Amino acid sequence: MFAQEFMRNALIAGNFVGLACGLVGYFVVLRAQVFAGDALSHVAFTGALAAAALGLNILAGLFAATILGGIVMGLLGDRARADDVTIGSFFAWTLGIGVLFLTIFTTNNSAGNGTAGVRVLFGSIFGLSTTDVRTSVLLAILASAFLLLIARPLLFASLDAEVAAARGVPVRALGLGFLALLGLVAAQATQAVGALLLLGLLAAPAGAAHRLTTRPYRGLVLSAIFSVGAVWIGLTLSYEFPTLPPSSMIIAAAVGIYTLALLATAARDPRPARLRLAGLYGPPGHAHDHA
């Protein structure tokens, strides 16, 4: 399996995409922004196809669209969560525009390129070049490092925005930065599993981690392990059984892990405990002593 270059490329890139998705996904679930991730996946589709139709670099279109999409949703601010209908209407339209670009692209490139739409929608991890792999590894490490850097304040802001703001944590800026980061990771994952499936890598491993532990850092690590594990299992399955598409197998593995976590915790108290804040910012009683 490791002798094949395409397989090595897929495993390396998938490994790091999985890592970034697992880490970011943990916060996506924590902040109940899975729907925003859903919306970004549609933005990714349209961005990539717009670039393709206009003859630009697909990757550039992808990254520009998702990061911009993340920032726009961040600017909608707190209303974004309450007003799901607005997000829904917006991304339904985004998808319509994506279809338009798909039509333009396929009518202009009748030969050979008819699969571009499918590649964007469902990924092409076995078709990555060595340069693609290098770019995605680099971006994934950057994204993960940035996330770990802001993990503490972001955790605080996600769990109790008002208290965090009162203590001087820049809640709004963090939320905006996080959505931009989510956009970056979404663009990356689009290359691996496709625009439509990236939601699975964001939601399922993180959902499993949230079921299994209420401790934030342990959850983050678990989520990353599950996500990377799903990529490896999926790629191996797809290599052993070539009729099975890799992106489907990766998502199936991720959802399988989530289902196992559900079953394992089903016997326990079904109501998940609130995440523990203890120790994050010192004992609560002494909060105002430093002020």
Partner 1 sequence: MLEAAIFQGLSWNPLTDLHELVSYPFMVNALEAGTIVAVMAGVTGWFMALRQQTFAGHTLSIIAFPGAAAASLAGLPLAVGYFGFCGVGALALAGIAGTRQSLSAESAAIGSLQALALALGFLFVTLYHGVLNGLDSLLFGTFLGVTSRQVAVLLAVAVAALTLVVLAARPLIFASVDPDVASAAGVPARQLGFGFLLVLGLSVAETSQITGALLVFALLVTPAATAHRLTARPGLGIALSVALALAVTWLGLALAYFSIYPVGFYVTSLSFALYLFVRVANTVAGHRRTTMRLATEPA
Number of residues forming the site for partner 1 (CB under 8 A)? 60
Given the complex with partner 1, which of 128 and 209 has the nearer CB atom? Answer: 209
Task: For residues 174 and 141, give the distance between their C-alpha atoms in angstroms, rounded to a whole number.
Answer: 19
| Best CA proximity match to 2, nearest among 287, 236, 230 | 236
Q: Would you count residue 178 as binding partner 1 (CB under 8 A)?
A: no
Q: How many other C-beta atoms can be found within 10 angstroms of the C-beta atom of residue 265?
A: 16
Give residues with Cβ within 8 angstroms of 176, minimum separation 6. 71, 74, 75
What is the C-alpha R_g of the chain?
20
Shortest distance in whole angstroms from residue 1 CB to partner 1: 20
**If you ran DSSP here, which 8-state letter would residue 281 be given?**
S
Q: Which residues contact 173 (CB under 8 A, 6 or more apart)?
A: none
Candidates 201, 195, 196, 277; CA nearest to 235 is 201
Choose between 117 and 175: whose C-beta lies nearer to partner 1. 117
Residue 29 touching partner 1 (CB under 8 A): yes
Query: In which residue are the tokens 């797809």 written?
Result: 238
Q: Which of 7, 12, 15, 38 lies at the binding interface for partner 1 (CB under 8 A)?
A: 38
* Residue 89: how many other CB atoms lie within 10 Å: 11
Select from 153, 175, 219, 245 the one that contacts partner 1 (CB under 8 A): 245
The binder of partner 1 chosen from 68, 72, 161, 244 (CB under 8 A): 244
Closest CA to 70 of 164, 162, 185: 185
**Interface region with partner 1, contact rule CB under 8 A, candidates 100-108, 139-147, 162-170, 180-188:** 100-108
Per-residue x/- marks for partner 1, 198-237, CB under 8 A? Answer: -xxxxxx-xx--xx--------------------------
The tokens for 283 are 């004992």
Binding mask 133-172 for partner 1 (x = CB under 8 A): ----------------------------------------
Q: Site residues (CB under 8 A) for partner 1? A: 29-35, 37-38, 84-90, 92-93, 95-97, 99-100, 102-103, 107, 114-115, 117-118, 121-122, 194, 196-197, 199-204, 206-207, 210-211, 243-245, 247-252, 254-255, 258, 270-272
